[in-house]
Amino acid sequence: MAKTTKKKNTSTKKINKIAPPKGKLGVLLPGMSGAVSTTFIAGVEAIKAGLGKPIGSLTQMGTIRIGKRTDKNSPLIKDFIPLCDLNDLVFAGWDIFADDCYEASLKSGVLEKELLNDLKDTLKETSPMPAVFSRKYVKNLNGKHLKRGKTKMDLAEQLIEDIKRFKKESGVDRLVMVWCGSTEVFIQASAVHSTIKSFEEGLKKNHPGIPPSMIYAYAAIKCGVPYANGAPNLSADVPALNKLAKLKKVPISGKDFKTGQTLMKTILAPGLKSRMIGLNGWFSTNILGNRDGEVLDDPYSFKTKEQSKLSVLEHIFQPDLYPDLYSDYYHKVRINYYPPRGDEKEAWDNIDIFGWLNYPMQIKVNFLCRDSILAAPIVLDLVIFLDLAGRAGLHGIQEWLSFYFKSPMHGENLYPEHDVFIQLMKLKNTLRYIQGEELITHLGLDYYDFA
């Protein structure tokens, strides 16, 4: 473990005791046969087998500064705070396609066949359980590996049974669930989502405002399992499930993994704003050809994604505070399904900016990324940090995990924090806080002479 500083946690009132990460951690993945899930699972198995490194994962590779810069104390995060070891992860999940993890990884077409063949025996051992699914909510998919039930409550109870059975049979100590399923059609929160009672009534009466992702979130929270949502659909982001999470003392987080183009946006936009550079327009377009791209080809699923992608700039640029710079910019986001490209998405951004005396300038970004290669380490970090949150007694919405999301869930009456640098500071200060270390403000007052 890392050296600790003499001065402890003066800026906070309470330090949580963290239960040790003993035993195995079960990772439950709705959408287990998809590109993100399979790249995550096969990636973790490759790392366990010494065939690769966890590039992109803060829990595995990131460091954290403790104390002053002169203390020269920057341990790895995983040496600073007791995290679950990657070797202790065990996988389970659900999908509408029954392929085992090896077959599903091959079909996803992200990782090379040679690597997957080296992991074949391990990957073949895991297959998804039948899913809770309805084409009303994801129009461009059709699978047969499904649960049947008269009501949505019956389906939730079947998921709860799955969770309990997996825990018993696998002997895992704790569980975490991350929604890696497809993006569902756009739904707005309404009366059925307002209280636990109205939500449970809605489950019993098959209310159309409750899509499958909410049924999974409900089942996880009911079982005391921390839950993260990697897609933009509401899922746990409704008052009823937020209340249930607080009641059951379960940490929750979401929505929509922040990977390619939006990651770039939340890196560039804070930099432009920090120098008071103005914005006239930001046009973003993408081509991608994986199953996610096919699902997003449906305008109803795309609307959910579009809302998520559009929201970041407004919160970063704060036009109400900087009307001369940001009150009148045009922001457009497009996603085009283009099968030949597979998971290797290409994103273009044209950014029209202006400087001193309104003189115009342009920035062009062409990001040739790999969607699931960027998403897999996010899933790993969310699994490990949500497990930490659970062991440290944190519950309800975990805003310190905003770092990983395009549309961060946030407390009532608060706005979401999108600036990736503020998000990272918040994440690291939360780790310092739960370990009882002094928070870092970057003030450095001792350095200056005062009159």
Report yes or no: 35 and 372 within 8 Å, Cβ to Cβ: yes
Residue closer to ligand NAD by CB (options 38, 429) is 38
Residue closer to ligand NAD by CB (options 104, 268) is 104
Q: Does 292 bind ligand NAD (CB under 6 A)?
A: yes
Sheet strands side by side (includes 174-179): 129-130, 89-95, 25-30, 174-179, 227-229, 251-253, 396-397
Residue closer to ligand NAD by CB (options 141, 310) is 141
Q: Does 372 bind ligand NAD (CB under 6 A)?
A: yes
CA dist 395 and 401 (Å) reads 12
CA dist 403 and 262 (Å) reads 12
CB of 377 to ligand NAD, least distance (A): 11
Pairing of strands 174-179, 251-253: unpaired
Q: Coil, strand, or helix at residue 19?
A: coil
Q: Coil, strand, or helix at residue 16?
A: coil
CB of 255 to ligand NAD, least distance (A): 9
Which part of the chain contacts ligand NAD (CB under 6 A), choosing from 15-23, 133-141, 315-323, 358-366?
133-141
Q: Does 376 bind ligand NAD (CB under 6 A)?
A: no
Binding-site string for ligand NAD from residue 151 to residue 180, where x marks contact by CB under 6 A and - marks none = -----------------------------x
CA dist 284 and 365 (Å) reads 9
CA dist 355 and 275 (Å) reads 9
Contact pick of 97, 317, 326, 385 for ligand NAD (by CB under 6 A): 97
Q: Does 375 bind ligand NAD (CB under 6 A)?
A: yes
Q: Which DSSP symbol is given to 97?
A: S
CB of 300 to ligand NAD, least distance (A): 13
The gap between the terminal CA atoms of the chain, to the nearest Å, is 41
Q: Does 187 bind ligand NAD (CB under 6 A)?
A: no
Q: Does 295 bind ligand NAD (CB under 6 A)?
A: yes
Which part of the chain contacts ligand NAD (CB under 6 A), choosing from 30-38, 71-79, 311-319, 390-398?
30-38
CA dist 200 and 153 (Å) reads 7
CB of 15 to ligand NAD, least distance (A): 34
Contact pick of 19, 90, 141, 160 for ligand NAD (by CB under 6 A): 141
Contact pick of 40, 102, 133, 337 for ligand NAD (by CB under 6 A): 133
Q: Does 304 bind ligand NAD (CB under 6 A)?
A: no
Report yes or no: 379 and 273 within 8 Å, Cβ to Cβ: no
Q: Which residue is nearest to ligand NAD (CB)?
A: 34
Closest CA to 256 of 305, 294, 295, 211: 305
Q: Which DSSP symbol is given to 55?
A: T
Would you state the structure tokens that stand for residue 451, as one six-digit string? 């009159």
Residue closer to ligand NAD by CB (options 52, 143) is 143
Helices (H), 145-185: 152-170
Contact pick of 33, 158, 398, 429 for ligand NAD (by CB under 6 A): 33
CB of 44 to ligand NAD, least distance (A): 15
Q: What Å distances lie between residue 335 and 158, 219, 288, CA to CA?
A: 35, 32, 8
Residue closer to ligand NAD by CB (options 95, 419) is 95
CA dist 249 and 344 (Å) reads 39
Which helix (H) or strand (E) segment holds residue 308: the answer is: helix 299-317
Q: Of 34-93, which residues contact ligand NAD (CB under 6 A)?
A: 34-36
Q: Of 264-283, which residues contact ligand NAD (CB under 6 A)?
A: none
CB of 283 to ligand NAD, least distance (A): 20
Which phi and psi angles does 25 have, rounded to 5°?
-115, 120
CB of 248 to ligand NAD, least distance (A): 22
Q: What Å distances lie between residue 261 and 269, 349, 364, 409, 429, CA to CA?
A: 12, 8, 12, 20, 26
Which helix (H) or strand (E) segment holds residue 176: the answer is: strand 174-179
CA dist 125 and 109 (Å) reads 20
Which part of the chain contacts ligand NAD (CB under 6 A), choosing from 136-144, 192-200, 311-319, 328-336?
136-144
Residue closer to ligand NAD by CB (options 256, 381) is 256
**Residues contributing to the site for ligand NAD (CB under 6 A):** 30-31, 33-36, 94-97, 131-133, 138, 141, 143, 180-183, 212, 230-231, 256-257, 259, 290-292, 295, 371-372, 374-375
